[in-house]
Chains A and B, each alone.
Chain A
Amino acid sequence: MTNTGKPLDQRHREGPGAALIRNTFCSVGAKLGTGWLLLLVFTAVFAPLLANSRPLLGSYNGVLQSPALAYLSALDITLIVAFVLTVAVWRTRLPYKVVIVLCVAALTWGISQVLVNVPKLSVYEEHREQPALSMTDWEVLAPIPYSAKDYLRDYGDTGLQAPGFYDGRAHYLGTTENGADLLSRMIHATRLALGIGLLATGIALFIGVLIGGVMGYFAGIIDMLCMRVIEIFEAIPTLFLLLTFVAFFDRSLYVMMVIIGLTSWPGYARYVRAEFLRLRQQEFVQAAVASGLPLGSILFRHILPNAVAPVLVAASFGVASAILAEATLSFLGLGLVDDPSWGQMLNQAVRSSTFNWWMALFPGGAIFLTVFSYNLIGEALRDALDPLSRSSNAKKVDTAVGAS
């Protein structure tokens, strides 16, 4: 809509969506949960700068270099650009903020795919040898000076080590059985943890909302047929399907996401269908039909925004369960091979003859906190949506007064 010179604040009145978000984040639980997740997002985006064996910046024989930046992949660059841009436009009143961020991110992805050329071979030891050979004038190391896949082969004493200092090396959370720094691997694993939850749930939401919406709006025979499809999909056990796939095909993160997504949409479809069935009869939808609005507007403008809120609650729990599914697979030793994942670290905690407490406590704690955060947010969202439990006092009085 165009601006005809009205004061801006009139157009930016708080709508029901904004009120919902405000009510959700009134709860302490949601604030804590969001805080933890934001920390994870930050860690995931800046993982290559937070934990890297290569120095962030250094002068070698008088030449200024940044080995860490040179090894950034296209994905790393895209994530960092998108993150910085998001923070930059967060508080502004630019229209289409989300679209701008997504477009720039896609552009960066395309450009960096072409331009960025990560060296195939990566030898971590050279950076530790350079100072010894007095090639280094000065250098700035990453806060955790170990990469996730740096198995410290140049040291003789590596292996499973409890948190502590070894020959001047600081391993705050200990090391894994291959000698990699646990904290570094955990930092690099946050991407997987966040990604698998969001992408798997995103796929499930997309399919669920689409099918559920069609079922609910058209009802009748379409509803009946789709319901049978839903029942078929609900009968598939996700974990066993994942195990089968992993046994026969490559261990791929994307396959895992897709499988978790493809098997968990029926729940969302049921939610959306019920909401659409209810809203279809609402008078504002009938009024939209009577005004001759096109079907697309009725479905996506008048029904969907009123139907998504309860689905979001289910989705926040869905993200948590997707993270757990990946952790379960990795724990069973069927996850990714070399790439770090919290579940895989848990697996190592029990695999050797001794019980390596640091391998259980820290990744386990991270999984617990993340799942708990999503659950807290889901819970707060549900309370904000539920007219009975939301500030129940006010509502009861509303009812009492309204009845008079």
Chain B
Amino acid sequence: MLLDVVNLHTTLATGDTDVQAVRGIDFTIDQGETFCLVGESGSGKSVTALSLMGLLPTGLARHPHGSVTLMDRAMPGGGSHRTSLLTLDNQAMSSIRGRRMAMIFQEPMSSLNPVYTVGEQIVEAIQLSHPHISNAEANVLALQALTDVRIDDPENRINEYPHRFSGGQRQRVMIAMALACKPDLLIADEPTTALDVTVQSEILELISQLQIATNMAVLFITHDLGVVAQIADRVAVMRDGLIVEQGSKDEVLFRPQHQYTVELLSALPENLQRLPSTVRSTPLLLDVSGLSVHFPLRRGLLKRTYGYLKAVDNLDLQIRRGEILALVGESGSGKSTLGRAIVRLLKPTSGAVRFNGTDIGTLSASQLRTQRTDLQIVFQDPLSSLNPRLNIATTLIEPMKVHGIGESDIHRESLALQLLSDVQMPADSLWRFPHEFSGGQRQRIGIARALAVNPALVVCDEITSALDVSVQSEILQLLLDLRDRFSLTLLFITHNISVVEYISDTTAVMRHGKLVEVGPTATVCHAPRHEYTQRLLEAVPRMNNFKVGGS
């Protein structure tokens, strides 16, 4: 046993009231094993990790009960040296951090300091926990660490600044920093959530290989049950600061006992009840032909254009009336740009977007304004997609008023109420402000706003990416329901393959601004022809692939 957590409580002081973020959890982590802590947002899993590392702001966080004990692995046999982490002062704790326990975080873009080279940052981490190492020795160790995390050409890249590294590479550098001092326990807080699936699978592979090489234990925090199925030895499911169920991976994921775990698993898109695919030969609604969106790249004093970023490059796409077309691609593939060009938030560089035969790209400003009612968009980020200073009524009624929907304000108000009930929101939401709603509720309101002008086509730009699985499944079911009732056509942009399989009739795979494969979802997802699609699908961690045995 390496780490023993007994009855851990964490209380956070928030102004007037105390929040009990963790309310008595017990678990142990053995040497060399991977322990996954799964839960939805607000379940207290990150607070648990920060409590273990002693990284919560002192004075705000208290641990009224419980103990965390770290065993010394150097001593064989039972009589090992124990360190009680919660009682340590900050100085003693910092000798544990890094050397015995290291942590990597979710956001690779902001967790490296942009003004130091990656080498300097790794050397600093090494020297903080081993103060007597000379610079030259530390450099050798840093180089070794970068080699271990498989950064290509480490001799040169060690002297480069973080902005020259991609998200996946930065996460590798973070892992190199964390592992430079050979910790016994690595705490990984959603390390792959911000990464593309192909990069995610590489990082997961890397962590498990390093783990075997050093016999290090990993506490892996995630919300993605697919990832859990891929890497976990043991799993604990957290909810509201409590562990509701824990056990081996097979027990928890495939023979769940607790009601909540069952609900969580059944909310996964791959476990949702799938509707019979409705392949219809309806007329074309949207015809994108030869569409390009190029952004000029400028440099120098006079901002001379020296090249173009081809976000969408000579792309053809057809969507039929009533169809749900899923647009899949990794970050930077241009899928959001395509979505915005279709609703004409961006002016295409060339090519045509024909909606019902009208070319959206060439409309004048006033023609466009009336045409906009047909094409609506719902955005990814529930935090920024509603105007924080307007109440929901104003947000919903203003577009109706502009486009002359409804006869009077009273009528429009009743229409808005009807919309809210269509997206399953309570009627009193009408006079509330966005900050009073949760992420899933705001996404529903975003959908209601799009529906307010009776659109024919709605572009859904990663609308479930920021949501928990249970909320995601509700939103997906809502969309299918609305599609039927409002006879909508949906362009569903996502990076999540299981969502695609659940919701879409047709799937288009996008890469580097071009479509690599388009076809019925069943064909694309189960018999992909293009090499890139195959690679993308292989990288997706799927629960059911890991059903037999463990890793």
Contact = CB atoms under 8 A, between A and B. Distances in A.
Contact of B44 (A1, A16, A285, A404): A404
A74 B372 CA distance: 53
Main secondary structure of the interface of A (DSSP, over half): helix
A340 to B, nearest CB: 42
Interface residues on A, range: 35 or more
Given A404-B41, A404-B43, A394 B14 contact: yes
A283 B39 contact: no
A297 B13 contact: no
Contact of B410 (A2, A17, A305, A400): A2
Contact of B446 (A14, A287, A292): A287
Contacts of B389: 15-17, 305-306
Interface in A262-305: 282-294, 297, 301-302, 305
A393 B43 CA distance: 20
A15 B428 CA distance: 15
Given A302-B387, A397-B12, A401-B21, A291 B433 contact: no
Interface in A289-327: 289-294, 297, 301-302, 305-306
Contacts of B408: 2
Interface in A208-249: none
A396 B57 contact: yes
Contacts of B45: 404
B497 interface: no
Nearest to A403: B46
Contacts of B368: 292
Contacts of B399: 291-293
Interface in B423-463: 428, 431-433, 435, 446, 449-450, 452-453
B413 A1 contact: yes
Given A290-B343, A400-B21, A404-B47, A306 B388 contact: yes
Contact of A291 (B106, B384, B390, B453): B453
Interface in B396-440: 397-399, 402-403, 408-410, 413-414, 428, 431-433, 435
A233 B343 CA distance: 41
Contacts of A402: 41-42
A301 B390 contact: yes
Contacts, number: 140
B377 interface: yes
B370 A292 contact: yes
A294 B370 CA distance: 11
Nearest to A305: B389
Contacts of B387: 284-285, 288, 302, 306
A397, A403, A404 interface centre (most CB from chain B within 10 Å): A404
Nearest to B44: A404
Contact of B388 (A16, A294, A394): A16
B385 interface: yes
A290 B388 contact: no
B345 interface: yes
B503 interface: no
Interface centre among B375, B387, B414, B435 (most CB of A within 10 A): B387
Contact of B12 (A2, A292, A391, A401): A401
- The contact size tier of chain B is 35 or more
A292 B372 contact: yes
A400 B446 contact: no
B50 interface: yes
A95 to B, nearest CB: 14
A293 B60 contact: no
Contacts of B452: 291
Given A4-B410, A290-B377, A400 B14 contact: no
Interface stretch (A5-13, A59-67, A346-354): A5-13
Which of B50, B106, B384, B386 has the most C-beta atoms of chain A within 10 angstroms of its own C-beta? B384
A398 interface: yes
Interface string A361-404: 00000000000000000000000000000010110111011111
Contacts of A15: 389, 391, 433
B381 A290 contact: no
B397 A13 contact: no
Contacts of B379: 283, 286-287
B391 to A, nearest CB: 7
A372 B207 CA distance: 57
Contacts of B13: 393, 397
B433 A13 contact: yes
Contacts of B221: 404
B19 interface: yes
A393 B60 contact: yes
Most buried by B among A13, A15, A16, A284: A284
A289 B449 CA distance: 12
Interface in B349-402: 368-373, 375-377, 379-381, 384-391, 393-394, 397-399, 402
A270 to B, nearest CB: 20
B410 A401 contact: no
Interface of B: 12-15, 19, 21, 39, 41-48, 50, 56-57, 60-61, 106, 189, 221, 340, 343, 345, 368-373, 375-377, 379-381, 384-391, 393-394, 397-399, 402-403, 408-410, 413-414, 428, 431-433, 435, 446, 449-450, 452-453
Interface of A: 1-2, 4, 6, 10-11, 13-17, 282-294, 297, 301-302, 305-306, 391, 393-394, 396-398, 400-404
Given A291-B372, A402-B41, 19 more contacts: A1-B409, A4-B410, A6-B431, A13-B433, A16-B388, A284-B384, A284-B387, A287-B449, A288-B387, A290-B376, A292-B453, A293-B398, A297-B398, A306-B389, A391-B15, A393-B15, A400-B12, A401-B12, A402-B42
23 contacts: A2-B408, A15-B433, A282-B384, A287-B449, A291-B376, A292-B369, A292-B399, A292-B453, A294-B369, A297-B402, A393-B57, A397-B13, A397-B60, A400-B46, A400-B47, A400-B57, A401-B21, A401-B42, A401-B44, A403-B106, A404-B41, A404-B47, A404-B221
